[in-house]
Amino acid sequence: MFSVILSHPQMGENIGAAARAMLNFGLTDLRLIAPRDGWPNEKATANAAGALDIMPPVKVYDSTAESIADLHYVLATTSRDRNMIKSVFSPESAVEELCQRLAQNQKTGILFGGERSGLLNDEIALCHGIISIPTRADFSSLNLAQSVLLLGYEWIKTQETMTAYDDNNPPPAPLKEKEAFFKRLETELEAAHFFRSEGSEAIMRRNVRNIFSRADITQGELNILHGILSALRGNKKKRGEK
């Protein structure tokens, strides 16, 4: 099953309702990023209708990067055009994609934004694609638990028709390994004065990160990229040198 990650949720009631929706459809891995009112939360427990007692302990993280570090593939839920080149999925096609990856032993997740402002652009840049839930253009706001319920429903529907998927290709690298490479790349780009304009530096960093976040880079490919950076720094010996 995929993980459900709630970024900066505000109300304990919504966390509890989301947990209840998850367990309704067989999802049990709930992760929270910096919940406003802390954790554990009495209102969340009350609104979960016993779900939190049955599910494994909720994991709590300080940052989005930490919350998805062990996952191979993550989709973000957002209704807005973020001017990023990302694959866009409907709820149904998103869950089909996650199921195929789960059948390849990849760990997957869906990232949901907080009640007030949703996800930040920097959070979406960490993800491989976007889930867009179709709603009325003039009234698109969905409750957090409603969004979780919609994806949970698609999950349990797909389980009825899911078949084994055999693929000998290596899985993508865990996101913590991609993040480590990106941090190194940022350091090298800073040393080379790549980020010249202070006004556009944040956007450039996000765009560079987005190039790598949407690709299924394997661990072997990451090792090659690390080797390229080392070679550009002059840390590699020339051919024939001992």
Domain boundaries, the chain: 3-159, 175-232
CATH of domain 3-159: 3.40.1280.10
Torsion (CA) 105, 65, 89, 10 in degrees, nearest 10: 120
Q: What is the pLDDT of residue 165?
A: 47
What is the tens place of the pLDDT at every residue in 6-26? 999 999 999 999 999 999 999
pLDDT (tens digit, 0 to 9) for every residue of the chain, 242 residues total? 899 999 999 999 999 999 999 999 999 999 999 999 999 999 999 999 999 999 999 999 999 999 999 999 999 998 765 567 788 999 999 999 999 999 888 999 999 998 877 899 999 999 999 999 888 888 877 889 999 999 999 999 887 665 444 456 778 888 888 888 888 888 888 888 888 777 778 888 888 887 877 777 888 888 888 888 888 877 655 555 55
Contact present, 127 and 87 (Cβ < 8 Å): no
Q: What is the pLDDT of residue 242?
A: 56
For the beta sheet containing 3-7, the strands, ordered from the edge strand earlier in sequence to the opposite edge, are: 59-61, 30-33, 3-7, 108-112, 73-77, 129-131, 87-89
Contact present, 102 and 1 (Cβ < 8 Å): yes
- In the DSSP assignment, the letter for residue 237 is P
